[in-house]
Amino acid sequence: MVDRAVNVRRIYESTGRHDGYRVLVDRLWPRGIAKERAHLDEWCKEAAPSTSLRKWYGHDPERFHEFRHRYRAELRGGEGAAAVKHLGELATRHRLTLVTATKELEISGAAVLAEFLNRPATRKSHRAVS
């Protein structure tokens, strides 16, 4: 069983030798990337922020704090919760890298999702499932 932090990487970067299992966590397919070149193990659209939240946020740094709060609420319910459960299970079995097209990783949905998955409570709850 693997117990490592969930990492985040831009899809436009070269794959890293320590990426492990790569999951695209954007709702939209990244522009200019052929599926063969993406080197993904899966695409988990359900883990991405809802379309309305993504459009409201618009990657405005001044809205990041509120975006983070709203997105974490989405991750606790509905399809977001199911996606978190799935990704949490993957993270107990593999080195997991969340892949995104965003330019600013620090204020991205993928960064919020990785932080959410890396919480000790989240990691413990999925260890029991493995």
What would the pLDDT profile of 47-76 be if each residue is shown by its tens digit? 999 999 999 999 999 999 999 999 999 999
With respect to residue 108, please indicate whether it lies within any of the assigned structural domains. yes
Domain with 63 in it: 7-127
pTM over 0.95: no
User: Is pLDDT of 22 > 60?
Assistant: yes
Nearest CA to 45 among 83, 2, 101?
83
What would the pLDDT profile of 75-129 be if each residue is shown by its tens digit? 999 889 999 999 999 999 999 999 999 999 999 999 999 999 998 765 455 444 4
With respect to residue 84, please indicate whether it lies within any of the assigned structural domains. yes
- Domain tally, the chain: 1
With respect to residue 109, please indicate whether it lies within any of the assigned structural domains. yes
